[in-house]
Structure 1
Amino acid sequence: MRKKGFVYISILALFLLVLSGCGGASSSKAELVQGKINVVTSFYPLYDFTRNIGGEYVNAINLVPAGVEPHDWSPKSKDMKNMTSAQVFVYQGAGFEGWVQDFLGSVSADAALKVVEASKGAELIKTSDNKDEFDPHVWLSPLNAVKMANNIKDALIQADPAHKVAYEQNFKSYAAKLADLDSRYKTELSKTSKKEIAVSHQAFAYLCRDYGLTQMAIMGLSPDSEPTAQDLKNMNEFIKEHQVKYIFFEELVSDKLAKTLAKDAKVDTMVLNPLEGLTEEQIGAGEDYISIMDENLNNLVKALQ
C-alpha cells in the first residue's frame, strides 16, 4: 500500500514539473483583409466553422496560434486591434475564454462589431451546483456544432446581407456533413462492447452524453488543472474495474503524466483530440474539425472493443 502511495505522489510531482515549464503564447499572424468580411474567432473549431460557412466572402482569423492550447491563452495588443477592427467576433462562451468579458466590456456601445456567443442555444452541462458554471466543451458534440455553426451563419448574414443566399447554402451543406458525422458516431459506438474511457483532460462530457459513454479524467476541465494523489488512485481503480485498455491524451499538452500513469496501470496510450487547436503538421496535412473527429471515432472504437 505504501508503495502505491509513493507511485501516485511521484506521478503528481512529475505533472507539476511539466506544468511549471508551460509558457505563454504569441499572437496570431493573420491579418485583416480589405474587401472581405473579417471574422475573428477565439479558437480553432469556430475558425473552421466560419471558414466553411463564409467561403470566398469571408476572411477568418483564428486568434490562438497553431499548436497552442487555448484554455489559458489571452490576447495580445495585435489581437485586440484585429478584434475591434473586424466586422464579426466569434467566441465560445460558457466560461471557456477567461479574457472575453473584459474585451467585450471595452467595446464601444455604438461599435459596428457583431459579437457571436457560439454556444448560445446549446444544452449545456453543469459542472457543479453553481448554476453559472458549465462545461464549455460544447463543440465535441457534432449536433451542438450544427447549432454553433448556425449562430455564426446568422451573424454573417447580419454583417453582409448581400451574400445571404451563399451563407445559407454553405451552412446547409456543412450542417449535412456534421449530421453525417453524428450518424457515424452513433452507428459505430453502438457496436462497442465497452462504454468507459479514461482521458487526461475532462473535455468529453458532451460526446459521452450523445453516444452513451462514461469518462474518467486525470485532470479537470482545464488540461493544466492539478490532479491529486487521490485522483490518480481513482483513475487506476477505474482502469482495473472496467478493464480499460488505453488512457487517452491530447497533442497540445504534455503526454508525460498520461504515459507514466498508463505504465503504472499496465495499459497503453492513444490520442483523443479535444479539438481546441491543431498543430502545424495537422494544418499542413489539410486536417479539419470533421477529419479529426473521424480520427477520434476510430480511436474510440479501437479502445472500446
Structure 2
Amino acid sequence: MNIRRLIPAAAVTGAVALGLTAVTACSSSDTSDRKSAGRLDVVASFYPMQFLAERIGGDHVSVTSLTKPGVEPHDLELSPRQTGRLSDADFILYLKGLQPAVDEAIKQSGASHTLDAATLTTLEDHGTETGGDEHGHEHEGDEAGADPHIWLDPVKYTEVAKGVGKSLEKTDPDHAADYRKNTDALVKELGALDTAYRTGLKNTATKTFITTHSAFGYLAERYGLTQEGIAGIDPEAEPSPARISALHSIAEKKKVTTVFFETLASDKTAKTVARDTGLKTDVLDPLEGITDSSKGDDYIEVMKSNLAALRTALGAK
C-alpha cells in the first residue's frame, strides 16, 4: 500500500464543488436509469462495502463502487463524474477515515442516506511508535489513530453487515424482508468463516507473522496472533537497516517463516526483508479490491485463501 498523501481540505473542497456542478446532468441521467429499473441506487466507497451492499441488497439494488478494481483505495482520487453521482444516490455506504477524498466528497454532496461503517462497530488503535496508524498515516479529527481495517476480522465485519442490513430496511421498507433474509444468510457465512479461523489457527508452531501491509491488527487480535508490520514505510520502499535487523531478531526468536505482501502493491519490500532474513514470501490479501490476481472471486473465498496462507506460514497442526 502506498502511504496516503493527504490533500489540503480547501483543495479537496474546491475540486468536489466543481465536480458536483460539472456533472449533475449526466449523473442524474444515470441515476434515473437505475431508479426506472426499480432498484435502489447504491454507491459503495470500496470493495468491502460493495460486497456487503451486493450480498445484502440482492436484486433490489444497483451497486457502484467508487474504487475500481486494481486501484489502491487509500490514495483514491474521485473523478468529477463520481463526485457528482453522490448527491443523487439513494444510499451511500463508506468507511470514514480510510479515504479522505471520499469523506470530503460525501460531506460536500449533501446526500441524506449515508452510512459510515465505522459507526457500526468499535474501532481500535493498532498504531506504532512512528505516529499515526500502522502505515505511518496521520489521521485528522476524532478518529485519529483508529485502525479502519475492520473487514479483516469476520466478527467485526458481521457487526457491520447487520448494521447495513438494518439501514437498508429503513431506506427501502418495501423490501425489508428480503434484506433481512440476505443479512441472516451472510451472517451465517461469516460465522462459519470465524469458526474456520478459530479452529485453523488454534494450534500453530508460531503466532507471529511479518507483513509489509500492517492491515491485520484486528485479525491478529481476534485469533491470538502477533502482526509484525514494516510500519511507517511504503511497501515499495526499501526498509531501514534497523528495521531489518529488528525483524531478523523477531523472526529468529518467534520462529517466523514468511514475509507477507499484498496484491495491490509491489512485492519489492517483502523480497528485500525475506532476502536479508532468510525467510520465504507469500501473499496475505488485505481485500481492498478484487482483481485477476486475487486468490478468490469474492470476500469469502479470499479470506479462506488468507487462512490457508497463515496456516502454512505459522506451521498449523
Smaller-chain TM-score bracket: 0.7 to 0.9
What is residue 78 of structure 1 aligned with on the other side?
81
Once structures 1 and 2 are overlaid, which stretch shifts more, 230-239 or 288-297?
A: 230-239
Structure 1 segments of 4 or more deviating over 6 A? none
Q: Distance in 2 between matches of 1:63 and 1:218?
A: 28
1:69 partner letter: E
Q: Are 1:212 and 2:224 counterparts?
A: yes
Q: Are 1:55 and 2:88 counterparts?
A: no
What is residue 250 of structure 1 aligned with on the other side?
262
Match 1:174 to one of 175, 182, 186? 186
Whether the 8 Å contact between 1:143 and 1:182 is mirrored in structure 2 is yes
1:271 partner letter: V
* Structure-2 change in CA distance of 1:286 and 1:256 (3 Å): closer
* Structure-2 change in CA distance of 1:70 and 1:138 (3 Å): same
Q: Distance in 1 between matches of 2:246 and 2:45?
A: 34
What is residue 168 of structure 2 aligned with on the other side?
156
* Structure-2 change in CA distance of 1:78 and 1:290 (3 Å): same
Q: Distance in 2 between matches of 1:206 and 1:82?
A: 33
Q: Distance in 1 between matches of 2:237 and 2:116?
A: 25
2:73 partner letter: P
What is residue 124 of structure 2 aligned with on the other side?
125
2:104 partner letter: D
Alignment coverage as a number of residue pairs? 273
Match 2:153 to one of 141, 145, 154? 141
Q: Distance in 1 between matches of 2:63 and 2:234?
A: 26
Q: CA RMSD in A?
A: 2.5
Q: Are 1:97 and 2:99 counterparts?
A: yes
What is residue 276 of structure 1 aligned with on the other side?
288
Once structures 1 and 2 are overlaid, which stretch shifts more, 119-128 or 198-207?
A: 119-128
Q: TM-score, normalised by structure 1?
A: 0.83
Unpaired segments ≥5 residues, structure 1: 1-14, 20-29
* Structure-2 change in CA distance of 1:147 and 1:266 (3 Å): same
2:90 partner letter: Q
Match 1:287 to one of 297, 306, 311? 297
* Residue aligned with 1:120, SS: helix
Once structures 1 and 2 are overlaid, which stretch shifts more, 203-212 or 235-244?
A: 235-244
* Structure-2 change in CA distance of 1:117 and 1:223 (3 Å): farther
Once structures 1 and 2 are overlaid, which stretch shifts more, 31-40 or 158-167?
A: 31-40
Whether the 8 Å contact between 2:287 and 2:302 is mirrored in structure 1 is yes
Whether the 8 Å contact between 1:88 and 1:155 is mirrored in structure 2 is no
Whether the 8 Å contact between 1:202 and 1:221 is mirrored in structure 2 is no
Unpaired segments ≥5 residues, structure 2: 4-26, 133-142
Percent of paired sites with the same residue:
34
Q: Distance in 1 between matches of 2:239 and 2:99?
A: 22
Q: Distance in 2 between matches of 1:221 and 1:176?
A: 37
* Residue 145 (structure 1) shift: 0.7
Q: Distance in 1 between matches of 2:43 and 2:233?
A: 24
* Residue 92 (structure 1) shift: 1.1
Q: Distance in 2 between matches of 1:209 and 1:140?
A: 11
What is residue 208 of structure 2 aligned with on the other side?
196
2:147 partner letter: D
What is residue 5 of structure 1 aligned with on the other side?
none
* Structure-2 change in CA distance of 1:184 and 1:63 (3 Å): same
Once structures 1 and 2 are overlaid, which stretch shifts more, 194-203 or 117-126?
A: 117-126
Q: TM-score, normalised by structure 2?
A: 0.80
